[in-house]
Structure 1
Amino acid sequence: MRTPSPRAGTLRSRPVEGFSRTTVETFVPAPLPPDPPLEFTRELHAELTDVRARLAYLEGLAEGLAGGFEVDAFNVRRTSGKAEGRDFLTTFRRMTMLREAGASSAVEGIRADWTALLHPNASEDKEDVAAVGRLVRATELLLEPPFSQNGQNGQNGQDGRAEWIEGSDPWSALLAAHAELFPGDAGAGAFRRELVGVGPRGSSIESAYIPPHPDDVPALMKDLARTDRSGTDPLGPLDPLICAALIHYQFETIHPFRDGNGRLGRALILRELLASGVRAAALIAPSVPILARRGDYYAALTAVRERGDFEGWVRFFLDILGRSADEAAWILRGTRAVRREAEAAVMAVGAGESGRPESASSAAGRRKLAFLDFLEANPVIEIGWAAKALGLSFPTVTALVEAFVEAGVLREVTGRRRSRRFAWVGLVGLWEEGMGGR
């Protein structure tokens, strides 16, 4: 790499075996916060205010639709019975996390079809789909206490940021998440013990960015843990959105694992925001706009190391969060509209000679609404699997599926006569369009 900015860190010469030279220069990032401090220009302050407003709008929209909600680690719960009496935010959160994992994996070249990800037996289909599923589970582990807000092993400081309990292992959840992401890998669940190079595919270690030597990683991660959570947190006065930006940069620069740093580092963004009390973070997928601007993402991270441009990175990060909030609000509104349209369509099926839609209070109407609830959480199904999950007979679910196909809500997507899959085309299409990074 080029000679780094002293503001970002220093190069340290370390001995190495097996390469064309006996020593390499590894990059050691300077402790956070940046020195000199971030320059809060009028433009940066305006952008921060704007993104905070967009996140607040998303939070308010969710509040209005669900009648209040609270966040605890991976779960989102309604706190009142408003909005059609359905707790759809937990389903929305689960879909968002799947979407985040899919986009984050795609940033690393692991691309899985969205419809395949939604299939109930997705992990059995392809390795790329299974890899996304592992990232979802790894994220669940990462967001468990003591990392999460209001967790039983954590406590909140006056600024709302979670603090570490004395004696806790700050990276235990991160290491568990890494082990989940790479089951069976000899290096899973531990910081790397080898020198690595980061660069375009096919580049040599001599030409790539070389993160800190493995001997330096534990101390750097310990320092990052103090920055992230301790009561003497030097980032405390900074806005939580800026803290998340700086911590993500530092994690990616330390590159503590042999593989999986990008995916886990982006999951850390959500952990940091949630632990800082940014509830809207439960509903966003920042990796979607990152995927759309992948080149800019890596360029902004590199500019910090080479030029000390923390301000440019923070502004890029804020733009990503703003886009994530806008997109989540668009999908959240869209899911309610798709639900209303589907409800009207399926109730019109079997209306009889009167032409009146079925009543929601009738036995048939209640069954259809319950099936719609099920489809919101499982928009791609197989009849046998759905029958087992619902505790209904195969003929009963077959009749429901046929009615929903007639209504134009479900569509068979395999073209096969056996092991057919049916997708809620409106809902799947809405999420799939969102995957494009609007």
Structure 2
Amino acid sequence: MKFESFKAGVWKSRYQYKSFEPVPVNHTWLWEDPTINTLLESANRALGELNAFSLIVPDIDLFIEMHVVKEAQTSSRIEGTQTGMDEALMSEDQIQPEKRDDWREVRNYVDAVNLAIKELDTLPLSNRLLKQTHEILMQGVRGEHKQPGEFRISQNWIGGSSLADAVFIPPHPDGVPALMSDLEKFWHDESITVPHLIRLAISHYQFETIHPFLDGNGRIGRLLIPLYLVSHQLLVKPSLYLSDFFERNRANYYDALMRVRISNDLIHWVRFFLQGVTETATKGRNVFQEILSLRTEAEHKLLSLGKRAPNAKQALNLLYRKPMLSAGDLEKNLGVSQPTANALIRDFIRLGLLREVTGATRHRLYVFETYLSLFVR
């Protein structure tokens, strides 16, 4: 199928509405547009550079955790969840009661990402894995009664308050299993020659168009991107998340998806997606460079602590995973006494590595500001 002659699907009349029925995607794809080749080359180069850092940065998993939290917070924000990056790093008892529902959605996303990546060790990227991930995403939050972990058996819609005024109506539920089966085959079909990033661009569009779940489709569809890259070994670690790019270009993102459905303009979508991969991978590479520089500087400062340096090094590693914490967090995670934890915090404040942010006399929280700032700009 050539991009230039692609027909995205048909609008089929239902009772009082029309659903969009997309065509299957599991076949070879070709294009004449030379811009796609250039964008594909740039995206692959940027992705390779990002992956190189995953291979050379010591204790890379410490920093991947922050990438996951950033993705969870940003992807959830696209769906209207109002949880700040600092709040996403807090424990539930530190969150104001009226904000806990949003906070749980973000933390569910973190749990869902971590489980899905771990499952890739034993499971291929599959509908089964997406269903398991969706079930975790929906636990105990808005949408928990909308068939968590199962493809929908009723009609959903995007935008508007009902089917009557919806912006877009995905395919009828009867067609969802076959469409998702076709999409799963597309991920793994070695008999067709399609570059991975092109395959991934088409897959994200197709998933969002099918909208197979009653809720959480945006988040699962965006999570599909790093899952695909890791499962096909384009990335060793889940270090690329496009939610930040999509959120910053939200109107263009939704417009690009709709242009495929309405005008068959798959070329515009693929260009947009490849641009997003390039920008996001380049930004991720730069963040890793800054992390390495910050790490060298911080560890040099710890040398001045003498016999307290070993505990301080453990505390620093904890801060890479959790750059906002309390003295109690240090006690629990390092297995040290309260006086030792308090002494470490005083040392870190003196060295310019921590700042107290509550202004309270009890239940104080401290932030590793220079590190956290790398993920919130």
TM-score normalised according to structure 1 size = 0.78
Out of 242, 248, 262, the residue aligned to residue 198 of structure 2 is 242
Counterpart code for 1:48: L
Change (3 A) 1:123 1:381: closer
SS at match of 1:26: strand
- In structure 1, the gaps of 5 or more residues are 16-22, 67-86, 155-161, 163-169, 348-356, 434-438
State the alpha-carbon separation in 1 of the partners of residues 372 and 117 from structure 2. 26
Letter in 1 for 2:340: T
Equivalent residue in structure 1 for 2:36, among 34, 44, 57: 44
Residue 10 (structure 1) aligns with: 10
Paired residues in the alignment total 366
Return closer, same or farther for 1:323/1:408 CA change in 2, 3 Å cut-off: same
Report the Cα distance in structure 2 between the residues aligned to 1:339 and 1:6, rounded to whole angstroms: 49
Alpha-carbon shift at residue 13 of structure 1 (Å):
1.5
Aligned partners of 1:423 and 1:122: how far apart in 2? 17
Among candidates 259, 269, 282, match of residue 215 of structure 2: 259
Deviation of the 1:282 alpha carbon: 1.9
Equivalent positions of 1:28-67 (< 5 A) are 28-32=21-25, 37-66=29-58
Question: Which of 303, 320, 343 pairs up with 1:376?
Answer: 320
What is the CA deviation profile of residues 266-309 of structure 1, one whole-angstrom value per residue up to 9, with x for unaligned ones?
00111112222211662122111111001110000001101111
Greater shift in the superposed pair: 310-319 or 111-120:
111-120
Please tell me whether the aligned partners of residues 54 and 237 of structure 2 are also in contact (alpha carbons under 8 angstroms): no
The question of 1:198 aligning with 2:169 is answered no
For the residue of structure 1 that corresponds to 2:19, the secondary structure is: strand
CA displacement at 1:33 relative to structure 2: 5.1
Residue type matched to 2:20 in 1?
A: F
- The DSSP-based 3-state class of the residue aligned with 1:143 is helix
1:337 and 2:293 correspond = yes
Partner of 2:339: 395
> 8 Å contact 2:55–2:236 — kept in the other structure?
no
Q: Tell me the equivalent position of 2:309.
A: 365
Does the CA contact (< 8 Å) of 2:331 and 2:338 recur in 1?
yes
1:117 aligned partner, one-letter code? A
Larger displacement relative to structure 2 (126-135 or 170-179)? 170-179
Over 3 Å counting, the alpha-carbon distance change for 1:123 and 1:14 in structure 2 is farther
Shift of residue 371, structure 1, vs aligned partner: 2.0
Q: Which residue of 2 aligns with 1:81?
A: none
1:128 aligns with 2:102: yes
In structure 1, what residue type is equivalent to 2:72? A
Query: Matches of residues 103-182 of structure 1 in structure 2 within 5 Å?
Result: 103-121=74-92, 125=96, 126-145=100-119, 148=120, 151-154=121-124, 170-182=126-138
- C-alpha distance 231-44 of structure 1, shift in aligned 2 (>3 A): closer
Q: Gaps spanning 5+ residues in structure 2: where?
A: none
Distance 1:49 1:421 in 2: 45
Deviation at 1:376, TM superposition (A): 1.7
Letter of the structure 2 residue corresponding to residue 238 of structure 1: V
Letter in 2 for 1:27: F
Name the CA shift for 1:190/1:33 in 2 (closer, same or farther; >3 Å). Answer: closer
Between Structure 1 and Structure 2, which shows a larger proportion of helix residues?
A: 2
In the other structure, the counterpart of 2:67 is 96
Distance 1:400 1:281, change over 3 A: closer
**Is 1:406 aligned with 2:350?**
yes
d(CA) in 1 for partners of 2:307, 2:327: 21
CA contact (8 A) 1:382 1:419 kept: yes
**C-alpha contact (below 8 Å) 2:26/2:182 kept by paired residues:** no
CA distance in 2, matches of 1:381, 1:204: 46
Deviates more, 1:362-371 or 1:51-60: 362-371
Higher relative contact order (CA 8 A, sep 6+): 2
Once the two structures are superposed, residues 192-213 of structure 1 have per-residue CA deviations (whole angstroms, 9 ceiling, x without a partner) of 22222212x5575344211111
Q: 2:188 corresponds to which letter in structure 1?
A: R
Judge conservation of contact 2:357–2:367 (CA < 8 Å) in 1. Answer: yes
**Residue 275 of structure 2 is aligned to residue 292 of structure 1:** no
Tell me how far 1:414 sits from its aligned partner.
Answer: 1.0
Partners of 2:74 and 2:265 in 1: CA distance: 26
Q: Which residue of 2 aligns with 1:24?
A: 17
Alpha-carbon distance between aligned partners in 2 of 1:47 and 1:123, rounded to the nearest angstrom: 44
Aligned-residue RMSD, C-alpha: 2.2
- How many Å apart are 1:337 and its aligned residue? 1.8
1:354 alignment partner in structure 2: none
TM-superposition CA deviations, 1:177-222 (whole Å, max 9, x none): 12111125232121122222212x5575344211111122122112
Counterpart of 1:216 in structure 2: which amino acid?
G
Q: CA deviation at 1:96?
A: 0.7
Q: CA deviation at 1:62?
A: 3.5
Within 1, Cα distance between the matches of 2:104 and 2:308? Answer: 37
Which residue of the partner structure matches residue 366 of structure 2?
A: 422
CA distance in 2, matches of 1:202, 1:215: 23
**Following the alignment from structure 2 to structure 1, what is the Cα–Cα distance between the partners of residues 70 and 307?**
35
Shift of 1:316: 0.5
Please state how far the C-alpha of 1:343 moved relative to its aligned partner: 3.0
For the Cα contact (< 8 Å) 1:191–1:257, is it kept in 2? yes
**Contact 1:120/1:380, CA 8 A, preserved across alignment:** no
